[in-house]
Amino acid sequence: MKRRDFLKAAGVGLTASAVAAPAIAQSAPELRWRLTSSFPKSLDTLYGAAETFSRFCAEATDNKFQVQTFAAGEIVPGLQAADAVSNGTVEACHTASYYYIGKDPTFALFCAVPFGLNSRQQQAWWYDGDGMKLMNEFTKKYNIVNHLAGNTGCQMGGWFRKEIKEVSDFNGLKMRIGGFAGNVLSKLGLVPQQIAGGDIYPALEKGTIDAAEWVGPYDDEKLGFHKVAQYYYYPGWWEGATANHVMVNSQKWNDLPKTYQAIVAAAAAYANNEEQAKYDARNPAALRRLIAAGAQLRPFSQPVMEACLKAANEVYTETSAKNPDFKKVYDSMVAFRNDEYLWWQVAEYTYDTFMIRSRPRA
């Protein structure tokens, strides 16, 4: 259902309940918010989720609630978006919470961590498990309220100038890699670099870094990584899914009328579904184009995957031992993941595997 159709349907429902939409609009205050994104405008999937959120808020209130969106760097750098919300510079941001592991590694667990949840599991943990409750409890100290507002699905393993045939090939490699995964790959000798999306290409082109990961084919093609690195690896085991959030300043959230709070939640949920739908729809064609342009598709080998899993589990154990917040959230996520994969093994994985093997080959 398109956003306008959704809003029209909602209006019909309100009329049927004898609550006139114009009356609601007339009683609604005029508000102007600013939302800063962690992403450049060129990434229409990621930055576009913020624009979708903004349009939804405006259309649901007859333009009384205006949320002006700003790309990374227009107000603050992309990796400082949550800080701008926390200190009240802006009312809201759209970001990936693993950008803030320098403050606390617990942030990563709500976004993406190595060998974590897939996107449907993340959604289930957020809405029907403890994910939403745990994140909002955790970010109280940062003056932030969170709304799930996007997912990339499973990502690719990144672009490399040389092949990764053995675990030792990571040693000394300088790679742009976001979030908690850098801590894991450090155990294998890799040197992680956290660089905002718009700055990755020049770093890769100049040789400042040897490899880079971003999201997947649709965005990677836009950023042009295939022009400066040949080998395209999969899967992105560090991001089996990556959740984005609209973060709202706690005081601004508490000041909102309840109707506007409901609209913010609905707008974020719509943006959440739309973002992954765009990736799912657009990645296949982009992957074909990248291969046609010379990208060499490579899987990470089983020994590499197993070494990475071992390193990840070591990091989780070490971090949990010294960070109670991390341990609380990680234990919840792992228990949820283990139950979910029981179901995946029975139905989801079995069905998908059969259909992949049975599909017509071009």
On whether the CB atoms of residues 138 and 105 are closer than 8 A, the answer is no
At 278-321, the pLDDT tens digits run 999 999 999 999 999 999 999 999 999 999 999 999 999 999 99
At 129-145, the pLDDT tens digits run 999 999 999 999 999 99
pLDDT bucket at 194, cuts 50 / 70 / 90: confident
Q: What is the mean pLDDT of residues 87-94?
A: 98
* 235 and 250 co-located in one domain: no
Tell me if 359 is assigned to some domain. Answer: no
* 125 and 171 co-located in one domain: no
At 175-189, the pLDDT tens digits run 999 778 999 999 999
Q: Residue 358, Cβ neighbours under 10 Å: how many?
A: 7
Range of the domain at 335: 158-239+294-322+330-351
* 57 and 175 co-located in one domain: no
Q: In one letter, which amino acid is 191? A: V
Q: Which helix (H) or strand (E) holds 248?
A: strand 243-249
Tell me if 289 is assigned to some domain. Answer: no
**Does residue 298 sit in helix, strand or coil?**
strand
Sheet holding 65-70, edge to edge: 65-70, 31-37, 92-95, 243-249, 144-151
What is the Cα–Cα distance from 219 to 67, expressed in whole angstroms?
Answer: 25
Radius of gyration of the chain (CA): 21
pLDDT bucket at 6, cuts 50 / 70 / 90: low
What is the Cα–Cα distance from 208 to 271, expressed in whole angstroms?
Answer: 35
pLDDT of residue 26: 54
At 17-40, the pLDDT tens digits run 444 455 555 568 999 999 999 999
Q: What is the mean pLDDT of residues 95-121?
A: 96
Tell me if 201 is assigned to some domain. Answer: yes
In this structure, what are the phi and psi dihedrals at residue 212, rounded to the nearest 5 degrees? -155, 145
Find tokens 């006139």 and name the residue.
Answer: 20
Q: What is the mean pLDDT of residues 219-233?
A: 95
* 347 and 218 co-located in one domain: yes
Find tokens 């969170």 and name the residue.
Answer: 146
**Does residue 233 sit in helix, strand or coil?**
strand
At 212-221, the pLDDT tens digits run 999 999 999 9
* 88 and 181 co-located in one domain: no
Residue 96 has pLDDT above 90, yes or no: yes
Domain count within the chain: 2
Higher pLDDT, 16 or 301: 301
What is the Cα–Cα distance from 173 to 229, expressed in whole angstroms?
Answer: 14
Query: How many Cα atoms occupy the beta-carbon half-sphere of 250 within 13 Å?
Result: 12
Tell me if 360 is assigned to some domain. Answer: no
* 262 and 307 co-located in one domain: no
* 192 and 55 co-located in one domain: no
Residue 204 has pLDDT above 80, yes or no: yes
pLDDT bucket at 222, cuts 50 / 70 / 90: very high
CATH code of 111's domain:
3.40.190.170
Residue 198 has pLDDT above 90, yes or no: no
At 319-362, the pLDDT tens digits run 999 999 999 999 999 999 999 999 999 999 999 999 999 998 76
Buried b or exposed e, range 126-142, using 16+ CB within 10 angstroms: beebbbbebbeebbeeb
Determine what percent of the chain is predicted with pLDDT higher than 70: 92
Tell me if 286 is assigned to some domain. Answer: no
At 252-276, the pLDDT tens digits run 999 999 999 999 999 999 999 999 9
* 85 and 174 co-located in one domain: no
* 77 and 181 co-located in one domain: no
Kindly report the average pLDDT of the chain as a whole number.
Answer: 93
What is the Cα–Cα distance from 122 to 151, expressed in whole angstroms?
Answer: 9
Tell me if 287 is assigned to some domain. Answer: no
pLDDT of residue 195: 83
CATH code of 228's domain:
3.40.190.10
* 227 and 256 co-located in one domain: no
Query: Model-level pTM?
Result: 0.89
